[in-house]
Amino acid sequence: MRRSLLSFAIAPIVLAAACAKPPAPGEPLPGLDAAQRDQFDRGKVIFNRVFEPETGLGPLFNAKACGECHEKPVAGGVGDEVEVHATAFLSNGVCDPLADLGGFVYQQQVTPALKNALGIDKEPVPAKATAQGRRSSPDLLGFGLLDAVPDSEILAYADPDDRNHDGISGRPNRFFDGRLGRFGRKALVPTLAEFNEGAFPVEIGITVPAVPNEETVAGQPIPAGVDPVPDPELDAQSVALVNAFVRFLAPPSPPKLKGASRRGPELFEKTGCAACHVPRLKTGDSDVKALAHREVAAYTDLLLHDMGPTLADICLGLASPSEFRTEPLMGLRFSEKFLHDGRAASIEEAIRLHGGEAVAARDRFDALPAPEREALLAFLKQL
């Protein structure tokens, strides 16, 4: 009798847990402790902080705040900004990231003081560059989970020599110190924290303790007096809070498949899309319980794949001009433009622009009967 009473008492709790609503876009991961939740909330404030020259902005920058480029439908979402990258792909196959000429990100805005000093409106791309690429702003929801995927999980999908003869040969990129990369459209950056820390100086012109020097103008130091704010312009605690905000952003909720879109997952497999856009990755150990040993519906393998000459632009690290990291499709529902540079106006157009290793999957998509193609697109629009 006592046991049945107990069961009766805890049943609503169990039921509530099972029926717990998934986090809405922009909300934190479920299961964070109070301290982590506090970091998330405080980090969000700094993520949305608008910098001005008096608070360290620039002198070269692409945006005045993290939240300027990652804003729709919430902080951490997508943006309509497109930035410019440039590198030199040398005849010996080595990629020169133009680190001595200001790096591969070419800031599109300057402060009035820099404009007065040098007469420029943006950082000039050096003549040495062999290619330029445009980069749209992706959403960051669930990126903490991607960060927690062990290297071994990613490398397990690598097949650089296509030994299984499926036409898919994903291979890892490496950062300049040899570590496995996973963040960025060319999978250059190993960790989310490094991506965020590097974004402050590169995107906003805000120096941080890990990068205490400003970007150069095509390799030339910033003229004296142009940026008088002492370095670092943002302290370590603030950087850590922004990292916590981005890391703890919950992934988009699972799609509620209705009608024809219920066939979407099956068709995604059948066409071969899932060979690169791996539906689920598993996280490993983490100091954050909410990130440890979870499945993340990322729809990526975080590896480089040849996408063909039409999409090719810059090289980066070990990535050749035509190689791109499989774009995570989680959060696709928030995008209004598609592919790494936003050139595609619809998901269907983006699929049709897939080349290289993706040609067979693209052709299978094209060959689907119209109702099945519509079902697959309906599914993708809900990711």
Partner 1 sequence: MTRGIGRRAPLFTLYFSMFLSGAASAAPPSPAPTPTAPLPSATLTATVRSVDAQARTLQVVTGVGYALRVVKISWKEAPMVKAATAGGGMSQLKQGDLVRVEYAKAPEGNVVMSIELLPTPAPPSVR
User: Does 224 engage in binding with partner 1 (CB under 8 A)?
Assistant: yes
Residue 131 near partner 1 by CB under 8 A? no
Question: Minimum distance between the CB of residue 191 and partner 1, rounded to whole angstroms?
Answer: 9
Site for partner 1 in 320-349 (CB under 8 A): 320, 323
145 touching partner 1, by CB under 8 A: no
Between 146 and 185, how does the x/- string for binding to partner 1 read (CB under 8 A)? --------------x----------xx-x-xxx----xx-
Separation CA 66–CA 26 (nearest Å): 14
- Closest separation between CB of residue 222 and partner 1, Å? 5
Residue from the set 93, 119, 259, 369 that interacts with partner 1 by CB under 8 A: 93
Smallest separation (angstroms) from partner 1 to the CB of 66: 13
117 touches 226 (CB < 8 A): yes
Q: Is residue 94 part of the contact set for partner 1 (CB under 8 A)?
A: yes
CB neighbour burial string for 87-112, b if at least 16 within 10 angstroms, e if fewer: bbbeeeeebbbbeebbbbbbbbbbbe
Tokens encoding 87? 């590198």
73-76 contacts at long range (C-beta below 8 A, 24 or more positions apart): 73/25, 73/26, 73/334, 74/25, 74/26, 75/26, 75/44, 75/47, 75/48, 75/245, 76/26, 76/47, 76/139, 76/140, 76/141, 76/245, 76/246, 76/249
Does 106 contact partner 1 by CB under 8 A?
Answer: no
Q: Among residues 63, 105, 141, 347, which is the contact residue for partner 1, using CB under 8 A?
A: 105
Nearest partner of 144 among 336, 292, 42, 20, judged by Cα:
292
CB of 248 to partner 1, least distance (A): 19
| Of residues 137 and 271, the one with the C-beta less far from partner 1 | 137
Stretch that binds partner 1, among 2-10, 44-52, 98-106, 261-269 (CB under 8 A): 98-106
Among 14, 15, 50, 99, binds partner 1 (CB under 8 A): 99
Count of positions (residues) in the chain: 383
Q: What distance separates the 2 farthest-apart alpha carbons in the chain?
A: 84
Near partner 1 by CB under 8 A, which window of 65-73, 97-105, 291-299, 346-354?
97-105
Min. distance of Cβ 260 from partner 1 in angstroms? 40
Compare residues 263 and 325 and give the one whose CB is closer to partner 1: 325
Nearer to partner 1, 14 or 176 (CB): 176
Of the residues 218, 229, 288, 368, which one makes contact with partner 1 according to CB under 8 A: 229
Task: Kindly state the number of chain residues that form the binding site for partner 1, as judged by CB under 8 A.
Answer: 54
Find the shortest distance in angstroms from Cβ 50 to partner 1. Answer: 20
Contact between 369 and partner 1 (CB under 8 A)? no
**Least distance between partner 1 and beta carbon 61 (Å):** 13
Torsion over CA: 129, 131, 134, 137 (sign)? negative
95 lies in the site for partner 1, by CB under 8 A:
yes
- Burial-class residue 324 by CB neighbours within 10 Å (0-12, 13-18, 19+): buried
Single-letter amino acid code for the residue at 283: T
Which one among 213, 237, 310, 346 touches partner 1, defined by CB under 8 A?
A: 213
Taking CB under 8 A as the criterion, the residue among 318, 330, 375, 377 binding partner 1 is 318
The only residue of 38, 52, 80, 100 in contact with partner 1, by rule CB under 8 A = 100
CB-nearer residue toward partner 1: 172 or 255: 172
Which residue ranges make up the site for partner 1 (CB under 8 A)?
90, 92-97, 99-100, 103-105, 160, 171-172, 174, 176-178, 183-184, 188-189, 194-199, 201-202, 207, 210-211, 213-215, 221-231, 233, 315, 318-320, 323
